[in-house]
Chains A and B, each alone.
Chain A
Amino acid sequence: MSFDVAPYGAFIWPAYAVTVIALGGLIVWTIAKWRAAKAKLAALEKQ
């Protein structure tokens, strides 16, 4: 396994960074929405 990406590091690392940010953001957003919806339903069912 090698992380030597010379001489294209200026393109490879940003490609991986944008992927991690976009997919990570999508995962966090999805989980946050699920938790918020679940909490809202639980609160309403308690009433």
Chain B
Amino acid sequence: MFDWLFRYANPARFLGLSGAVLPWLAAVTVLTIGTGLYLGFSAPPDYQQGRTVLIMFIHVPAASMATVVYLSMAVASLFSLVNRHILADVAARTAAPIGAVFTLLALATGSLWGKPMWGTWWEWDGRMTSTLVQFFLYLGYSALWNAIEDETKAARICAILALVGAVNIPIIKFSVDWWATLHQGESIVSGHVAPVFLGPLLTMMGGYFLLFLTLWLVRIRTMIVERRARNLMGAEA
């Protein structure tokens, strides 16, 4: 079923293909984020939030990416466990630092929006607490990779941790429905965002996703090259 995927997952082929795609991907990323910022700063103040709506254009994309990156890591971990493919290990491992930064940004920008709008920097409600747990999952996952010397063993154990940690994703998503939280409920799909704000918000979300893809590809390429260098050093020794 995934034969086509594994054809491109050959490290040498991946390096060639990603090298050709990356300059275009980086250019489209810059263009999309630039457009999103222009649209955001051109939007009028919200009738309730005033200009703090500007924080939403960087907070919501960061929060979405915190989950999307974890999902990518979990899928790569599943491939790592089932197919034992080296590129799946590398993909999962290299996604973690990017996810950690997006999660930290979601927490920080959310806090900076919460103070003027809710009157508090932080509240131990379902959404914020589960997002903080996700941040620690990213850190724990990366720490575990670095703590185990045998890479094959590290890949198995970290893949299991990533899959177990994926339980947190539905908790983050549905926390606003399951518990009475200070954090507002889902508003994009339900159509509660005015079109004048939806444009910049979706553009920024697209830009953040493209940024993730760009950084992920570069990091995967870096780790492949590092492994080649280690193999060469091992052959020389």
Which residues of A are in contact with B by a Cβ distance under 8 Å? 1-8, 11-12, 14-16, 18-19, 22-23, 25-27, 30-31, 33-34, 37-38, 40-41, 44-45, 47
Nearest CB of chain A from residue B122's CB, rounded to whole Å: 14
Given A3-B41, A8-B51, the answer on whether A30 and B222 have CB atoms closer than 8 Å is: yes
B42 interface hit (Cβ, 8 Å): yes
Given A5-B54, A8-B51, A8-B52, the answer on whether A15 and B42 have CB atoms closer than 8 Å is: no
When the two chains form their complex, are residues B221 and A44 in contact, meaning their CB atoms are under 8 A apart? no
The answer for the CA separation of A11 and B120 in the assembled complex, in Å, is 12
Nearest CB in chain A to that of B104: its residue: A22
Nearest CB of chain B from residue A38's CB, rounded to whole Å: 6
Would you list 6 pairs from A and B whose C-beta atoms are within 8 A, ordered by A residue?
Answer: A1-B42, A7-B50, A11-B112, A19-B105, A37-B222, A44-B229
Pairs of residues from A and B, 9 with the lowest C-beta to C-beta distance, nearest first = A15-B112, A37-B225, A44-B232, A41-B229, A5-B51, A15-B109, A34-B222, A1-B42, A15-B55
The answer for the CA separation of A33 and B211 in the assembled complex, in Å, is 17
B23 interface hit (Cβ, 8 Å): no
Instruction: Select the residue from A12, A38, A47 with max chain B CB neighbours within 10 A.
Output: A12
When the two chains form their complex, are residues B225 and A15 in contact, meaning their CB atoms are under 8 A apart? no
Given A2-B42, A11-B55, the answer on whether A26 and B97 have CB atoms closer than 8 Å is: yes
Chain B 42-73: CB-based contact to A (< 8 A → 1; otherwise 0): 10000000111011001100100000000000
